Structure 1
Amino acid sequence: MKHNRLLFTVAPLALMLPAVAYAAPLPANAKASSAAETAVAEASLDKAADKEVFSTGVAKGRDRLDSATSTSALRADDIQKLGARSLAEILRNIPGIRTEASTGEGNSNYTIRGLPLASGGSKYLQLEEDGLPVLEFGDVFNVSSDIFIRADFNLAAVEAIRGGSASTFASNSPGGVINLISKTGEVEGGAVQLSTGLDYGAHRVDFDYGAKLTDTVRFHFGGFYRVGEGPRAIGFDGYKGGQIKFNVTKQFANGFIRLYGKYLDDRSPQYMPVPIKITGTNDKPNYENFANFDVRKDATLSRYNASLISLDGNNQPIHDPVSNGLHAMAKSIGFEAQFDVAGWSISNRLRYSNVSGSALRVQPAAVGTAADIATSIGGAGSTLSYATGPKAGQIITNPAALNGNGLLQQLYMPQIDVNSLNNFTNDFRANRSWKLGKGDFTVTGGVYKALQTIKTDWLYTNILQEVVGGGDAALINVTTAAGVPVTQDGFVSYNLSAVGDTYRRSFDVDYDITAPYGSLNYHIGKLAIGGSLRYDMGKVRGNIFGFGLGGGRTGLTSFDFNGDGKISVAEGKTGFLPLTRPAPVHYNYNYLSYSTGVNFRVSDPLAVWARYSRGARANADKILFTAAVSAVDGSMPNSSDGYDTVKQSEIGVKFRKAGLNINVTGFLADTTDHNVQAGTGLQVLRDYRAYGVEAEASFRRGPFSIAAGTTYTHAQIVKDYLVATVNGNIPRHQPNFIFQATPQFETKRFTVGFNLVGNTKSFTQDTNQLVMPAYTVVNTFLQVRPTERVQVMVNVNNMFDKIGLIEVTQGSVPVNGIGSARSTNGRTISAALSMAF
């Protein structure tokens, strides 16, 4: 499987390569309806365009040099070359954006300019698709927005705005917005690409096509299908599924209407921390692989751990395949319209998404020597045996020599059943410009409406597994010295046993958000000054069930999962949900956001600007099951617990001339955060401060070009209201510098270059003891075009096979040298054949 060399078969090919077809020339009679798609087409003819129109997170699309914002864009043909294996690996190439791109296709962590990253997903940074949020809240516990969005041949561009007007012109986005913009048939024609992994299991087919039906009607559709094991050895096809998207646009003399839709049904594995040897000192640690296990290429997943066995949200038995992994189901239908009426430009975006699926992962609870783990579960004198795999039933006679490392790992196996993340969003906007004196006065007003359901069940089990790579790890049984089995088929319990109670939760909550907003802008000569306001009003209603509510709303039961008529020790530790004892959720919140900025066009190629903003982010499920929401009547005693604020100051300079673009921005942000820390489960209530400088530049001269960016950030925990000992410390995982660069050499027949991303060292935990080393990952690409409209491409991701630590569980060097960590994926090589038509 890992050495499949069938490069150009007709079977579905290429797993995690979100490559995008290179753009065809813009037809002479084409009329643009999307600033991003026009830029894509024009960029294929002239990469150093004299004017760049940016439309995400602002009142009205305008040239970047005339806007007091910090913005970036990745075009389709640039994304193709990155060799990214996930959306997070694409987005880490945007300056200021820090992504922990090691979890797989989804549930990655995203933040911006040092804003807090206590938990998974993207709390202060909104992920959008065609101008509307994928989910209203980007950090829903265990099921973040990126699970339900894919980059494929439908993608025209990625636009990002950092700080600035994002707080008033987008929802729950005080830090910024990243918008994935789809093609709309503006560029006629299409492409098919077949691709495969050369040294890993990855097979994928991508396709798209756009054309005119009449002089005023055009369409675009496309998608992908993939299957394969993926970049890590897990012993089964962890990736399986695909996506179809379409849109139809009707053009009028004064505007357009567009209908679009998406169907996504895709499965992918989630990679969690794995065992690693940690020695040395906290400030100079040594991280090494254990024998027969590689943190770059192996995972906690295995072919011999086939099913999650538990009670579901209705307390009924289930046997769900571990291969389900992150299962994303999204069915969306949307409508967009824009018209010029009586001097006003009026637009409306509307979308309904039916979102469901599940998120299953296998994560470490404890890693230790086989003898120590056996004693902790079964007591002194316990024995071990294989529960699954080819050696099932055999006694392990020499635990110290097991797999050459003598280790076992006790693992949590949680599954989050996503019964519904359905959402409806509508954004209505109108703007008009008048001549006022010698300048232009622009007024914008709008109303944003969103409905978001969070209906999820948290199910946990606890298993015991050996530490061996290749997807070959077996589950392990423990028997006491008296001969009593304390595990069943490798299951220690059918709940989260390490917590001492049944850590099960169920959410059935609806969010209703209404937000009017508006702005005023005056542009005279070289000067533009403006401000904007937004007022968010939210209603939260529903019920929650389970652990953390008190009053006996949780507990243990027994269930005969194997049907032998007996209750084993493990079966006697089965978690259930107290469905007859819900806690209500019934509160409202509201907050004001504002932003004001000034831009001065010093000369045609040079502009300077400054901005101050106060934005906020509504807290969703992270404050449920905490004191912020009463478990008695569902109220919120302190209304400020309903949202967290970001106050941000920015000052910047922009330069663009003769193929050279330079943007430099200084920033200062003060942030509040109500959260639950990923990995530790600790409640967080903090104030943060971050300041720094971000810089991006691009240059093109003849066949050579380079795009690069770096961000310096100094972040600090100003005040922790629960753990005062971390006050003044640097937040965990926060490096001083993050950076990226992509130089390339391009001719008519070939393009060659590389992409590097990395960061300086950081701390593993907020206690600021153990250091995670700096790392740089280099990805290379080669595109060859032997004939017109045919391209062969080879990408090498992590060419030098480096260990880049993203997460380390331990806060200091462990006495026994045994830890757990998550690293960037090791080297993977993919190849693709594209044919345009």
Structure 2
Amino acid sequence: MKLKYLLLAAAVAFPASAYAEDAGAAKDTQVEAGSSPSADAAQPTKRAFTTGVARGRDLLDSAISTSSLDESEIQKFAPRSVSEIFRNIPGMRSEAYAGEGYSSISIRGLPIALGGAKFLQLQEDGLPVLEFGDIAFGNADQFLRADLTLSQVQAIRGGSASTFSSNSPGGVINLISKTGEEEGGAVELTTGLDYETYRMDFDYGGKITDTLRFNIGGFYRQGEGPRATGYDAYKGGQFKFNLTKTFEGGYVRLYGKFLDDKSPNYSSAPLRVTGTNADPKYSTVPGFDPRQDTMYSRYLPSNLSMNENNQFTRYDYTDGMHSKVKSIGGEAQFEIGDWTVTERFRYADISGSFRGTFLAPSLTGPASVVTGIWGGPGAVLSYANGPLAGQVITSPSTLNGNGLVSSTTLFDADLNDLTNVTNDIRASRVWNVGGGKLTATAGFYKAAQTINTTWHFSSVFQEVKGDGQAALLNLTSAAGVPLTLNGFYGFGSTFFGNSRRSIYDTDYSVNAPYASLNYHVGALAIGGSIRYDFGTARGQVFGADLGGGRTGITSYDVNGDGVISAAETRVAIYPLTRPAPVNYNYDYLSYSLGVNYRLADDMSVFARYSRGGRANADRILFSNYINATDGSLARKDAAYDPVTQAEAGVKYRGQDAELYVTGFFAKTKEHNIGLDRSYRAYGVELEGSIKKGPFRLNAGATYTKAEITKDALVAATVGNTPKHQADLIFQVTPQIETERFTIGANFLGTTSSYAGDNDGLKMPGYTLVNGFVQYRVTDRVQLSVNANNLFNKLAIIEAQDTTIPATGIVQARTANGRTVSASLRFDF
């Protein structure tokens, strides 16, 4: 399979033997990002933006909405993951609860149906990390890490993102690496002051010759992490390098990345809730605080389940989210006559695993309720392992001071192969026409994405206990019949009706020619772009959920004692002789039209209308959208989901202040497992900054009204606000910087939202405060202290229950509690 990808790459990657600079240095670019102001000191600095556009251009001459975060600012936010960085981009809804991946990310009211980043694309150095940002258990952010090699994060919202990237109608977030322009490097040592983490980052770059430069860097870290697991849940690192050769008219760059990193997935945990659905009061349960505790435990070292060959296997649960990437790529630009050609290519061998705990709604609660559901009247609990192994729990109602028992599903998936190969080639030319400049761009995008994953869930009982010490529990019937085996009630998704034991073995191809025209004369810039995506989905899937006589449960002597116990009758297997094919094609058209008018040197107005799409991948398999007999589309409209958007705004950029105000409107269709919907959203987005002497303030806010306008499956949701959609989200970062000191805070807030699409249970709004202090001991030595969630706010980001259950216990995902870290940085 990978040989096929390499042959494909060789055929399209380097169509010419001359290379040159990237789009940010195209001849019509006003001034490159990071360059000096013009000779006229009265004029504000012009900045180029190159993500999701044809060519770099000053933002006040472009009909787009963008944001940029520099490395120096990102470090102050105290992010514990890349999704926490994204929270500081206006318009961005980044549900950063899960750790180093598996975050739900959206933009401008576009829905988050089943997690991931569906309608926007996460990129690294101008190419997607994965073609689809919401692959189940393999979301794109899981394979991204921020370290000292990161130069900048650029984001484009709406606009031309629809036509200059595939599967990105909502926008693009691009992590841009350092490439050795600045001579020197840095080493940074970081430790947690109130949690266990030890990390080293390094970066170094510079010139080898006048025309050859390089950059290398990465990180390594180890420790338990921000929440208690009972073991080192964080372990691994990243190494990146690039080499750039410049010459007259351009450059060629080779780069690579090696990532091998383990981190936990902070999933749902029990919270007590009182009050009403409209006005709930949430609180932690005794002995367990989800801000600092998890359902991971030193007593949950393994999952036992059938592998993809129906062989019983032990899986190391301390792996958590194990992300592995080996990638190599190149980018170049060269000139052919008056045309500037830009080429980008990357081959990424991506794999790993996902091992996390999931607490089923209404199935985790008071011990008497849980034992009654699964063991019947009079069922008895005992410890399956830990220091009290074998001891009967005589007072379940007072267990650990909370009396709770968790029916835990072990969400366990092997990400066997998520290989991604991408090539993007484009050519641009500028003509002088009628006193203005006409810029034409044409390109072709080619990508291949493998999705080969195996899901092997299991079901266990746990006590609800913090500090990584939750033991597994055994359940015995009133008649003395053991219903569990070493804490395992079933070796499948027993608590979910034995559903979703799945194997995906699929390949997706993406092809997209695209073109744009932009005419800039005087104060007016008007342009349009178009893209035609067409692709294929090929492969096969396995699972009893496909029906047609496919079975998924058997009996198996797990412990080899010659006796089949009750738990051993609940062993899930794959119907390996009955695969369902995946075999369909799709195509859709995207376009974008925009106009910008420069009212003055420091102000412009713009408007844009766009239509884009997102091809659906694994999320529509195992559904009635795909014919399980021949793999064709049973519903052709399910192959992709269109997004139409309109936006208009004003931009102001002065010497000491900037302000960008944009109104937006969007209509979206959504096809997913168990979903067939349409949405509408509108609102206004603000971004601004002020700088006076040592004081600086950056701020952003987004007001959104969103609505479900159609639901083919659950008509009662029509007219409701989509889940998790708050009316207002905001970010504010004030800071004071002197020669030696920088001190400031980063405020991140949201108003209330609904836990589900039924507009039932509300999740309260919250404001998280991150603080930072930097002291420059010398010009080359800096000491920093960063606090994330300084006031230890209980911030509920997601709740599994959509109404208050009778038990008064909901399963929720929360932000990390307070974590304080200290860093010592040496520059050289």
TM-score (norm 2): 0.95
1:122-521 alignment to 2 at 5 Å?
122-365=117-360, 366-521=363-518
**Matching residue's letter, 1:580:** T
Aligned partners of 1:548 and 1:625 also within 8 Å:
yes
1:117 to 88, 112, 117: 112
Secondary structure of the 2:474 match is: strand
Aligned partners of 1:502 and 1:556 also within 8 Å:
no
Q: Deviations over 1:516-539 (max 9, x none)?
A: 000011110000000000000111
**Matching residue's letter, 1:370:** A
Whole-angstrom distance in 1 between the partners of 2:177 and 2:306: 41
Aligned partners of 2:131 and 2:167 also within 8 Å:
yes
- Residues 452 and 158 (structure 1), Cα distance of their counterparts in 2 relative to 1, 3 Å cut: same
Secondary structure of the 1:462 match is: strand
Whole-angstrom distance in 2 between the partners of 1:723 and 1:404: 40
- Deviation, structure 1 residue 399: 0.8
Secondary structure of the 2:146 match is: coil
Number of the residue aligned with 2:576: 579
Whole-angstrom distance in 1 between the partners of 2:692 and 2:544: 61
Q: How many corresponding residue pairs?
A: 798
Whole-angstrom distance in 1 between the partners of 2:483 and 2:36: 67
The answer to whether 1:798 aligns with 2:789 is yes
- Deviation, structure 1 residue 688: 0.2
Number of the residue aligned with 1:659: 656
Number of the residue aligned with 1:107: 102
Whole-angstrom distance in 2 between the partners of 1:421 and 1:201: 31
- Deviation, structure 1 residue 41: 7.6
1:73 to 62, 65, 68: 68
Number of the residue aligned with 1:16: none
Secondary structure of the 1:645 match is: strand
- Deviation, structure 1 residue 313: 1.1
Aligned partners of 2:310 and 2:573 also within 8 Å:
yes
Number of the residue aligned with 1:679: none
Number of the residue aligned with 2:709: 718
- Residues 629 and 96 (structure 1), Cα distance of their counterparts in 2 relative to 1, 3 Å cut: same
1:663-702 alignment to 2 at 5 Å?
663-676=660-673, 683-702=674-693
- Deviation, structure 1 residue 499: 3.0
The answer to whether 1:597 aligns with 2:594 is yes
Whole-angstrom distance in 1 between the partners of 2:499 and 2:675: 22
Number of the residue aligned with 2:816: 825
Q: Deviations over 1:342-370 (max 9, x none)?
A: 11111000000000110111110221211
Whole-angstrom distance in 2 between the partners of 1:443 and 1:172: 23
Aligned partners of 1:384 and 1:477 also within 8 Å:
yes
- Residues 299 and 41 (structure 1), Cα distance of their counterparts in 2 relative to 1, 3 Å cut: farther
User: What value does the CA root-mean-square deviation take over the aligned residues?
Assistant: 1.5
Whole-angstrom distance in 2 between the partners of 1:32 and 1:567: 65
**Matching residue's letter, 2:187:** V
Aligned partners of 1:345 and 1:430 also within 8 Å:
yes
Whole-angstrom distance in 2 between the partners of 1:195 and 1:587: 49
Secondary structure of the 1:375 match is: helix
Whole-angstrom distance in 1 between the partners of 2:563 and 2:196: 42
Aligned partners of 1:502 and 1:575 also within 8 Å:
no
The answer to whether 1:639 aligns with 2:639 is no
- Deviation, structure 1 residue 593: 0.1
- Deviation, structure 1 residue 244: 0.3
Aligned partners of 1:40 and 1:75 also within 8 Å:
no
- Deviation, structure 1 residue 322: 1.0
Aligned partners of 2:657 and 2:690 also within 8 Å:
yes
Greater Cα shift, 653-662 or 557-566: 557-566
**Matching residue's letter, 1:338:** Q
Gaps of 5+ in 1: 1-30, 677-682
Aligned partners of 1:239 and 1:267 also within 8 Å:
yes
Whole-angstrom distance in 1 between the partners of 2:684 and 2:23: 34
Gaps of 5+ in 2: 1-20
The answer to whether 1:97 aligns with 2:72 is no
**Matching residue's letter, 2:514:** Y
Number of the residue aligned with 2:11: none
Aligned partners of 1:305 and 1:388 also within 8 Å:
no
The answer to whether 1:704 aligns with 2:695 is yes
**Matching residue's letter, 1:660:** A
- Deviation, structure 1 residue 544: 0.6
- Residues 561 and 42 (structure 1), Cα distance of their counterparts in 2 relative to 1, 3 Å cut: farther
The answer to whether 1:728 aligns with 2:723 is no
- Deviation, structure 1 residue 472: 0.8
Aligned partners of 2:33 and 2:49 also within 8 Å:
no
- Deviation, structure 1 residue 564: 2.2
Secondary structure of the 1:137 match is: coil
**Matching residue's letter, 1:536:** D
- Residues 396 and 42 (structure 1), Cα distance of their counterparts in 2 relative to 1, 3 Å cut: farther
Number of the residue aligned with 1:768: 759
Aligned partners of 2:65 and 2:157 also within 8 Å:
yes
Whole-angstrom distance in 1 between the partners of 2:34 and 2:299: 47
- Deviation, structure 1 residue 814: 1.9
Whole-angstrom distance in 2 between the partners of 1:152 and 1:96: 24
Whole-angstrom distance in 1 between the partners of 2:561 and 2:178: 57
- Deviation, structure 1 residue 171: 1.3
**Matching residue's letter, 2:454:** D
Whole-angstrom distance in 2 between the partners of 1:282 and 1:227: 41
Whole-angstrom distance in 2 between the partners of 1:689 and 1:78: 34
Aligned partners of 1:232 and 1:299 also within 8 Å:
yes
Aligned partners of 2:24 and 2:49 also within 8 Å:
no
The answer to whether 1:561 aligns with 2:565 is no
Q: Deviations over 1:720-744 (max 9, x none)?
A: 1100001000001100000001111
Whole-angstrom distance in 1 between the partners of 2:577 and 2:643: 39
- Deviation, structure 1 residue 482: 1.6
Whole-angstrom distance in 2 between the partners of 1:470 and 1:835: 35
- Deviation, structure 1 residue 559: 2.1
1:787 to 778, 782, 786: 778
- Deviation, structure 1 residue 673: 0.4
Number of the residue aligned with 1:835: 826
Aligned partners of 2:499 and 2:545 also within 8 Å:
no
